[in-house]
């Protein structure tokens, strides 16, 4: 499953505690993620999964520990520069409502001062890549798109400057079940063609196991298990992971009972 | 009839009063928006400053205008006349403008701000390219309110020799000339209505 021996993201003894909280949001996380992996981070709300993700592009800074991207400690790099190198996609609210689809996708290329022709070409290329007709969508505004279409635009925007690392924070959280399955399949297809490292946060165990080449399971700020989906099902590391898998099995029983 | 005859005889006085008033209001408004804009950007970087500025400007706003005009006269460089009037108008406007600007800019959905930051926009870029366009409505409401209030308060400024429509009213009062007073009111109200209409029009154009 591991596609390369180059370490893309490394977390070393990472801690994060929010002001006023009396527990660690993220506690002693140590992980190595290789280039080209599709990592899903699974946990319930408050598990620290989003905090871990947001520390990766310095939206938050850890209280202790180091985060190293391709050998470079991001503590030593200007936060703005770190973010421009990383693709970042969140639920559809992340599209800027006052900008057209084309302008939204062009944000980071513009920040990096690409010339207009290069930006225009890239925007069209990206829309095609995420399965949207560019002539139809370029000049529309986010509110004129369905949730699924907005999410595709969000992905296109995150991919705009061809970042090596993509952070995806529950990007399909607000999408209906059918469209969600489509988007998951397409994201998998995108990943396999791109040789990028994906870090994908979700609270949906199906999504985590379906998309991840390896899955990080988090609870109360700590990593319970980091392994391939198969190994997680075969050998759950602790009671929490067991409970998580069992809860899903319970749901399956419900289905079997109904059929 | 009498009113119209008065206007025909004195149209140059009325026109002059109106043009003085428009000038005073426009200069005061431009300076007010510029000052409030700068203070708002400052407040975006240092949150407590925003609260303090709104508080301070609310105190100034609660001083009766005629008293504030009088208080300003002894200050160096001001004295009687238009400079003092404009200073006071700019001070009054800060409360209206800052409140609308700062609450507008702070009211932008936090998730949108974080998305912009996550893409690598710098703090100033987030203010100018995200916060300002998304709070344009609140910004315009502030400017409109400030404009209307400036037109009204500038009437009082005639007491300190700033001229304008207020002069029609004060001289009308002193000489017991009702026509002057009524024309003062008509011009003031008319100016308010026209100015409001122009801003509403601009606002609609900007919002597409």
pLDDT by residue (tens digit) across B131-147? Answer: 999 999 899 999 999 99
For residue A74, the 8-state DSSP code is G
Q: Which of B130, B42, B121 is nearest to A78 (CA)?
A: B121
Mean pLDDT of chain A: 91
Confirm if A191 and A158 have CB atoms less than 8 A apart.
no
B113 in contact with A at a CB cutoff of 8 Å?
Answer: no
Closest Cα in chain A, distance from residue B36 (Å): 24
Q: Closest-CA residue in chain A for B206?
A: A98
Grade residue B204 by pLDDT with cuts at 50, 70 and 90.
confident
Q: What's the confidence (pLDDT) of residue A1?
A: 47
CB B119 to CB A90 under 8 A?
A: no
Grade residue B21 by pLDDT with cuts at 50, 70 and 90.
very high
Contacts of B120 in chain A (CB under 8 A): 80-84, 108, 111
Q: Is the pLDDT of residue A208 over 90?
A: yes
User: Within its chain, how far is the Cα of B181 from the centroid?
Assistant: 23
Q: What's the confidence (pLDDT) of residue B32?
A: 97
Residue A202: which H helix or E strand, with range? Answer: strand A197-202
Q: Is the pLDDT of residue A75 over 80?
A: yes
Q: Is the pLDDT of residue B207 over 90?
A: no
Grade residue A115 by pLDDT with cuts at 50, 70 and 90.
very high
Contacts of B116 in chain A (CB under 8 A): 96, 107
Instruction: Domains for chain B: give ranges and CATH numbers.
Output: 2-206 (1.10.3720.10)
Q: What's the confidence (pLDDT) of residue A4?
A: 67
Q: Is the pLDDT of residue A119 over 70?
A: yes
Helical spans, DSSP H, in chain A: 49-56, 79-85, 101-105, 107-111, 116-129, 134-137, 147-159, 177-194, 205-211, 229-234, 239-258
Q: What's the confidence (pLDDT) of residue B34?
A: 97
Confirm if B83 and B163 have CB atoms less than 8 A apart.
no
Grade residue A103 by pLDDT with cuts at 50, 70 and 90.
very high
- Quick one: average pLDDT of B167-190? 88
A93 in contact with B at a CB cutoff of 8 Å?
Answer: yes
DSSP reduced 3-state for A9: strand
User: pTM of the entire structure?
Assistant: 0.82
Q: Is the pLDDT of residue A133 over 70?
A: yes
Q: Is the pLDDT of residue A3 over 70?
A: no
B122 in contact with A at a CB cutoff of 8 Å?
Answer: yes
Q: What's the confidence (pLDDT) of residue A93?
A: 65
For residue A112, the 8-state DSSP code is T
Q: Is the pLDDT of residue A231 over 90?
A: yes
Contacts of A108 in chain B (CB under 8 A): 119-120
Q: What angle do CA B124, B106, A60 make, to 5 degrees?
A: 65
Q: From CA A236, how far away is CA B6, in angstroms rounded?
A: 95
- Quick one: average pLDDT of A170-176? 85
Grade residue B9 by pLDDT with cuts at 50, 70 and 90.
confident
CB B119 to CB A93 under 8 A?
A: no
pLDDT digits (tens, 9 = 90+) for A22-67: 889 999 999 999 999 999 999 988 899 999 999 999 999 999 999 9
Q: What's the confidence (pLDDT) of residue A92?
A: 61
CB B119 to CB A108 under 8 A?
A: yes
For residue B160, the 8-state DSSP code is G
Q: What's the confidence (pLDDT) of residue B71?
A: 86
Q: Closest-CA residue in chain A for B125?
A: A111
- Which one of B112, B118, B130 has the shortest CB-CB distance to A57? B118
Q: Is the pLDDT of residue A15 over 70?
A: yes
Counting every residue, how long is chain B? 208
Grade residue A222 by pLDDT with cuts at 50, 70 and 90.
very high
Q: What's the confidence (pLDDT) of residue A134?
A: 86
Q: Which structure tokens are listed for A150?
A: 């907005």
Sheet bearing A214-219, strands edge to edge: A86-89, A165-169, A197-202, A38-42, A214-219, A222-227
Instruction: Domains for chain A: give ranges and CATH numbers.
Output: 7-258 (3.40.50.300)
CB A107 to CB B112 under 8 A?
A: no
Q: Is the pLDDT of residue A230 over 90?
A: yes
């Amino acid at each position: 499953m591991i596609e390369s021996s180059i370490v893309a993201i490394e977390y070393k003894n990472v801690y994060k505690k929010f002001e006023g909280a009396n527990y660690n949001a993220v506690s002693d996380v140590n992980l190595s993620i290789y280039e080209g992996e599709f990592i899903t981070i699974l946990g319930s709300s408050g598990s620290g999964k989003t905090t871990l993700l947001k520390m990766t592009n310095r939206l938050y800074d850890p209280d202790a520990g180091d985060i190293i991207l391709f050998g470079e400690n991001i503590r030593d790099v200007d936060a703005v520069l770190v973010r421009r190198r990383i693709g970042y996609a969140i639920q559809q609210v992340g599209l800027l409502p006052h900008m057209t689809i084309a302008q939204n996708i062009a944000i980071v290329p513009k920040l990096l001062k690409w010339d207009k022709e290069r930006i225009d070409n890239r925007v069209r290329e990206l829309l095609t890549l995420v399965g949207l007709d560019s002539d139809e969508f370029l000049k529309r505004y986010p509110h004129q798109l369905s949730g699924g279409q907005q999410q595709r635009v969000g992905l296109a925007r995150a991919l705009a400057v061809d970042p090596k690392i993509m952070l995806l924070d529950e990007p399909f959280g607000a999408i209906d079940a059918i469209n969600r399955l489509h988007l998951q399949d397409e994201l998998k297809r995108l990943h396999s063609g791109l040789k990028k490292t994906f870090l994908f946060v979700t609270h949906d165990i199906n999504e985590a196991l379906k998309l991840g080449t390896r899955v990080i399971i988090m609870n109360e700020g700590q990593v319970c298990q980091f392994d391939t989906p198969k190994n997680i099902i075969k050998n759950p590391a602790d009671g929490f992971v067991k409970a998580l898998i069992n809860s899903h099995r319970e749901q399956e029983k419900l289905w079997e009972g109904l059929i | 009839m009498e009113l119209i005859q008065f206007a025909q005889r004195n149209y140059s006085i009325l026109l002059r009063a109106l043009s003085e008033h428009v000038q005073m209001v426009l200069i005061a408004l431009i300076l007010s928006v510029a000052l409030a804009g700068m203070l708002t950007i400052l407040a975006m970087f240092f949150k407590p400053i925003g609260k303090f500025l709104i508080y301070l400007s609310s105190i100034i706003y609660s001083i009766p205008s005629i008293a504030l005009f009088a208080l300003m006269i002894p200050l160096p460089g001001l004295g009687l006349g238009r400079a003092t009037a404009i200073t006071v108008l700019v001070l009054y406007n800060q409360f209206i403008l800052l409140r609308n600007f700062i609450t507008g800019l702070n009211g932008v959905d936090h998730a949108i701000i974080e998305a912009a930051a996550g893409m690598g926009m710098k703090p100033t870029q987030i203010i100018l390219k995200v916060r300002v366009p998304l709070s344009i409505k609140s910004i315009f409401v502030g400017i409109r309110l400030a404009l209307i209030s400036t037109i009204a308060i500038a009437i009082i400024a005639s007491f300190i020799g700033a001229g304008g429509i207020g002069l029609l009213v004060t001289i009308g009062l002193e000489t017991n000339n009702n026509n002057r007073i009524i024309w003062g009111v008509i011009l003031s109200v008319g100016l308010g209505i026209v100015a409001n209409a122009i801003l509403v029009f601009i606002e609609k154009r900007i919002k597409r």
